[in-house]
């Protein structure tokens, strides 16, 4: 092979070498430029997560305040309604007694007329109404002690009836004010819950994964999450929620609250706090409800459900129903949650819920 032939044979190899070299250099440059972009993106995601968490925490604070106000209003309304019921009973009793004394006086007047005591009858005829008759001093001076007792008793009953009617009118006005406040507070709570849920549903998975455990495990695009397990226990409501320590608060018909009301939007999943056997029930103030017989020996009640989910034996964190307003919770979707240690009487579940929901 001549010199020129060797030169020609080297040129393609040299060109290939330079092409490979250029490609390597370009790749290195791309990698160097890509590294800062990736770091910036992570930093941006973290900043988004911080902003979202601040927004969620702010909404949660508002929710907690509104839930506390709702609980106070419900307690005050229950007290007022109990007073109304008691006053109505007392008013009815006073009116029955008034009618009895009025009958006695009417019979006495008939007897006076038959006996010829026309002076007393004239006093009655001069009066415009029975109230004026009762207050007539002239008549009081003409009758005996027995009649005076009857008139005094009737007058006292009339005064009591007047007081009771005034109290009832005031209490019913107060009742309407509380009912109006309840409607407004319930609406505000649902609005905040939906706002929080919408924020969570709109997050991408990367930002969601950077949130604290309080808002983690967002999935399915529904803005729900599962809290737990903490010592093997899951929070009963798997989604935006709010609750206060309303154990023992006054309720209608002289009852006190024997659980904890967890405010949440209708349809929010409720999950088994622990593994156990689900018993689905319905009826009375509870509406649709579940008795969860925990494998740990404790009993848990989930009340006012919108619908049931899993039944039989379930695992902790498994969906067993959905928040609703059945029973006596109409217009206010929430989960009434009860805790019965070792299957006995109910105890305050608030400390247990707080221990899980952190």
Q: Does residue 238 sit in the same domain as residue 133?
A: no
Rounded Cα distance between 311 and 292, Å, is: 10
CB 314 within 8 A of CB 278: yes
Assigned domain for 3 exists:
no
* Helix H or strand E encompassing 38: helix 3-115
How many of the other CB atoms lie within 10 Å of CB of 175?
17
* Helix H or strand E encompassing 163: helix 145-201
Q: Does residue 205 sit in the same domain as residue 176?
A: yes
Assigned domain for 217 exists:
no
Q: Does residue 104 sit in the same domain as residue 193?
A: yes
Number of domains the chain contains: 2
Q: Does residue 69 sit in the same domain as residue 129?
A: yes
CATH number assigned to the domain comprising residue 347? 2.70.70.10
Q: Does residue 299 sit in the same domain as residue 173?
A: no
Q: Does residue 161 sit in the same domain as residue 37?
A: yes
CA separation, residue 200 to residues 155, 216, 322 (Å): 67, 9, 19
Assigned domain for 55 exists:
yes
Q: Does residue 65 sit in the same domain as residue 141?
A: yes
Assigned domain for 342 exists:
yes
Assigned domain for 197 exists:
yes
- Of 56, 19, 37, 26, nearest in space to 213 by CA: 56
Residue-wise burial string across 94-110, b where 16 or more C-beta atoms lie within 10 A, e elsewhere? bbebbeebbebbeebbe
Domain boundary among 211, 240, 261: 211
Assigned domain for 220 exists:
no
CATH number assigned to the domain comprising residue 52? 1.10.287
Q: Does residue 170 sit in the same domain as residue 237?
A: no
Per-residue pLDDT of the chain in tens (358 residues, 90 and over written 9):
554 454 455 555 555 655 665 665 665 555 555 445 467 778 888 898 899 989 999 999 999 999 999 999 989 888 888 888 888 888 888 888 878 877 776 776 666 666 655 555 555 555 566 666 655 545 555 555 556 667 777 778 888 888 888 888 888 898 899 889 989 999 999 999 989 888 888 888 888 888 877 776 544 455 667 788 899 999 999 989 999 999 988 877 678 899 999 999 999 999 999 999 999 999 999 999 999 999 999 999 999 999 999 999 999 999 999 999 999 999 999 999 999 999 999 999 999 999 999 7
Q: Is the pTM of this model over 0.85?
A: no
Q: Does residue 119 sit in the same domain as residue 176?
A: yes
Rounded Cα distance between 82 and 183, Å, is: 20
DSSP string across 257-299: --SEEEE--TT-EEE-SSSEEEEEEE-GGG-EEEEEEETTS-E
Q: Does residue 25 sit in the same domain as residue 149?
A: yes
Assigned domain for 2 exists:
no
Instruction: Domain of residue 37: give its range.
Output: 11-211
């Amino acid at each position: 092979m001549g010199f020129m032939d060797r030169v020609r044979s080297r040129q393609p190899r040299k060109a290939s070498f330079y092409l490979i070299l250029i490609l390597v250099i370009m790749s290195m440059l791309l990698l160097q430029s890509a590294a800062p972009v990736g770091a910036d993106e992570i930093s941006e995601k973290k900043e988004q997560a911080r902003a979202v968490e601040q927004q969620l925490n702010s909404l949660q604070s508002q929710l907690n305040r509104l839930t506390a106000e709702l609980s106070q209003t419900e307690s005050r309304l229950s007290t007022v309604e109990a007073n109304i019921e008691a006053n109505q009973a007392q008013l009815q009793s006073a009116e029955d007694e008034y009618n009895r004394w009025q009958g006695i006086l009417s019979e006495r007047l008939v007897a006076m007329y038959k006996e010829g005591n026309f002076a007393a009858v004239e006093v009655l005829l001069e009066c415009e109404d029975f109230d004026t008759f009762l207050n007539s001093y002239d008549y009081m001076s003409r009758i005996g002690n027995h009649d005076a007792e009857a008139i005094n008793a009737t007058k006292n009953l009339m005064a009591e009836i007047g007081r009771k009617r005034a109290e009832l009118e005031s209490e019913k006005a107060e009742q309407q004010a509380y009912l109006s406040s309840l409607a407004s507070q319930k609406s505000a709570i649902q609005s905040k819950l939906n706002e929080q849920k919408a924020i969570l549903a709109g997050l991408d998975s990367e930002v969601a994964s950077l949130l604290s455990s309080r808002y983690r495990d967002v999935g399915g695009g529904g803005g729900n999450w599962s809290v737990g397990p903490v010592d093997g226990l899951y929070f009963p409501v798997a989604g935006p929620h709010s609750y206060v320590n309303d154990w023992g608060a006054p309720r209608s018909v002289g009852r006190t609250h024997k659980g904890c009301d967890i405010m949440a939007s209708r349809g929010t999943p409720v999950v088994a706090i622990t593994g156990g056997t689900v018993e689905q029930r319905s009826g009375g103030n509870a509406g649709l409800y579940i008795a969860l017989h925990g494998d740990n020996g404790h009993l848990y009640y989930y009340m006012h459900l919108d619908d049931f989910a899993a039944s039989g034996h379930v695992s902790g964190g498994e969906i067993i129903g959905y928040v609703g307003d059945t029973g006596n919770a109409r217009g206010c979707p929430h989960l009434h949650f009860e805790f019965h240690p070792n299957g006995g009487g109910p105890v305050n579940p608030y400390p247990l819920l707080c221990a899980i929901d952190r």
